[in-house]
Amino acid sequence: MLGIGIIQGLVETARNFFGSYTSKQRLTTVQFPDERLIQPEAARVFPFLVYDTDDWEKGLRCVACKICEVECPPQCISITKSADKKPDYSGIYSGKPQFYPEKFDIDVSVCMSCQICVEVCPFEAIKMDNAFELSTDDRFGGLMWDKQRLAMPNSHYQAIHPTDAAESDAALAEKKAKAEAKPAAAAAAAPAKPAPEKAGAATER
C-alpha cells in the first residue's frame, strides 16, 4: 500500500527519539567540550621530548643522533647537533657526557602523527603526546615547535601512557644496570691494569 514506507520511517524515528532517553546505544554523541570522552591510552597526536630531573634543558634525553630526522616520513623534524657535550643529568647514559640538540624543531603543520620517530628512537627520548586542542593564531611561528615547547617531563609520559612508560622505564633501568655492571666486571677481571679511559672520564666529573 502506498504510504506504508512513510509510516515505517516515522515509527523508526520515534523509536530512536524516545529510545535515546533510555538507551546508551541510541544516544552515541557527547556534548563536547562540556563532556569529553576518555582518550585511549594509545592515542597519539604530536611528539614531545622526554626529560628527567626538574630542568627541561639539562635533563633532555635526546642526544641529537638524528635518526628520527632521517626516518621521519614527511621530514618535519630538524635537528642541529651541539658542538660540545653536556653532562648526563638524566643518569641514563651511565654518567658519560653526551651531545645534545642545540636546535630541535618539529613543524607540526607538516607532522602526520605517524609515530615512526618514537619507534626508531633508541634512547626513549621522543614520545607521542595526546593533547589535541592546539589551535594557534600564529600560522608559522606557532606551529614550529622548538625544543622548549616540545620538552615534557617523564612524569607526563607516565601519566598519559602508563603501560608504555612502565616498559620504557624498565628498559632504561635495565640498560643502566648493565652499564654499571660492565665497568665493575672489567675492574674485577683486570685489577692490575691502569684505570680505563672511560672510568677516568667519569671520575673527572
Partner 1 sequence: MSPETANLEEIVAQVPPARGVVEPLPPVNAEGEQLLEISMGPHHPSTHGVFRMNVVLEGEQVVRLKPVFGYLHRNHEKIAENAAYLAAIPYTDRLDYLCSMTNNWGYALAVEKLAGIGVPERAEYIRVIVAELTRLQNHASLIGFLMQDMGMSGTPLMYAFREREKILDLFESLSGARMMCNYMRFGGVRVDTSAEWLRQVRELNGEFPRFLDEFESLLAGNEILMGRAQGVGVLSPELAVSSGASGPMLRASGVNYDVRKVDGYGVYDRFSFRVPLGDHGDVYDRYMMRVLEMRESVKILEQAVRDIPAGPIMDPKARLRGLRPKAGEAYGRIESPKGELGFYLISDGTGNPYRYRVRPPSLINLTVLEDMCLGRGVADVVVILGSVDIVLGEVDR
Residues at the interface with partner 1 (CB under 8 A): 5, 8-9, 12-13, 28, 40-44, 67, 71-73, 112-116, 119-120, 128
| Closest distance to partner 1 from the beta carbon of 119 (Å) | 6
- Residues 6 or more apart whose Cβ sits within 8 Å of residue 125: 49, 50, 60, 61, 62, 63
Match 672511560 to its residue by C-alpha cell.
Answer: 198
Nearer to partner 1, 71 or 105 (CB): 71
Nearer to partner 1, 40 or 194 (CB): 40
Nearer to partner 1, 12 or 55 (CB): 12
Match 653526551 to its residue by C-alpha cell.
Answer: 98
Distance CA 77, CA 139 (A): 17
| Closest distance to partner 1 from the beta carbon of 37 (Å) | 9
69 neighbors 172 (Cβ within 8 angstroms): no
| Omega cis (within 30) before 194 | no
| Closest distance to partner 1 from the beta carbon of 158 (Å) | 17
Beta bridge partner(s), residue 51: 60, 153
Nearer to partner 1, 110 or 181 (CB): 110
| Closest distance to partner 1 from the beta carbon of 165 (Å) | 14
Do β-strands 151-153 and 47-51 pair in parallel, antiparallel, or remain unpaired?
parallel
